[in-house]
Homo-oligomer: A and B are copies of this chain.
Amino acid sequence: MRREPAADLGQASNPTDAEALLRDYGCRATRSRVAVLEALLSHDGPIGAAELTELAQAREPSIHEATVYRTIGVLSELGLVNHVHAGHGPSLVRLATNNDLVAVCQDCGKIADVPAAAVAPLIDAVKEDSGFVLEPGHFALEAVCATCLKLR
C-alpha cells in the first residue's frame, strides 16, 4: 500500500495539484480529501489537527473533524504525510517531503526545524547499541526556546 512520496511533492502547491496527487496515489479524490491536502500543501511546516481542520473548512465548510482525522490516516498510509507526536499537546501533521525533525518549545509551543543530518549520528548510535531503528519523522524533540529560557 505504501509508496514513495512523489518527487515533486514539495512543489505541488497549486491547489489543483492536490486532486491530481491523490489520483496519482490511487486514492479517491473526494472534496474532503482535496481540501485537507490543499490546506496541508499551502501551510508551511507542521500543523495540529484542529488548525488543519479550520484550514480545510475554509475551503470546504461542511468538512468534519472526524473526516480530517481519517484523511490524515489515509495520507499517512500513502506516505504523503507524517504524524509527529509532540509531548503534552496534540500531535502534529506535516508533509513527508523532508526528513527533518521538529523541536517544540515546552513553554510557548514555538517550532524549530532540526536538519536530518544532525540526527544521523544518533540514529547510528542507537541502532548499534540496542538494535532499535529510530523513526525520526514521528517524534518531536521537546525543548525550550531561547526566549522562554530567559523567562525561567
A residues bordering B, Cβ < 8 Å?
A: 85, 87-88, 103, 105-106, 112-115, 118-119, 121-122, 125-126, 129-135, 138-146, 149
Q: Is the CB of B87 within 8 A of A138?
A: yes
Q: Is the CB of B140 within 8 A of A144?
A: no
In the bound complex, residues from chain B placing their C-beta under 8 Å from that of A132 are: 103, 105, 112, 141, 143-146
Do A134 and B126 form a contact, CB below 8 Å, given A85-B88, A88-B85? no
In the bound complex, residues from chain B placing their C-beta under 8 Å from that of A141 are: 122, 126, 132, 134, 139
Name the residue of chain B whose CB is nearest to the CB of A85. Answer: B87
How far apart are A117's CB and chain B's nearest CB, in angstroms? 9
A113 vs B130: C-alpha distance in the bound complex, in angstroms? 8
In the bound complex, residues from chain B placing their C-beta under 8 Å from that of A149 are: 133
Consensus secondary structure, chain A interface = mixed
A40 vs B145: C-alpha distance in the bound complex, in angstroms? 31
Can you report 5 A-B residue pairs in the complex whose CB atoms are below 8 A from each other?
A: A112-B126, A133-B143, A133-B144, A138-B142, A139-B140
A140 vs B142: C-alpha distance in the bound complex, in angstroms? 9
- Which of A87, A121, A130, A138 has the largest count of B CB atoms less than 10 A from its CB? A130
In the bound complex, residues from chain B placing their C-beta under 8 Å from that of A125 are: 114, 118
Q: Is the CB of B87 within 8 A of A114?
A: no
Q: Is the CB of B131 within 8 A of A142?
A: no
In the bound complex, residues from chain B placing their C-beta under 8 Å from that of A119 are: 122
Name the residue of chain B whose CB is nearest to the CB of A137. Answer: B142
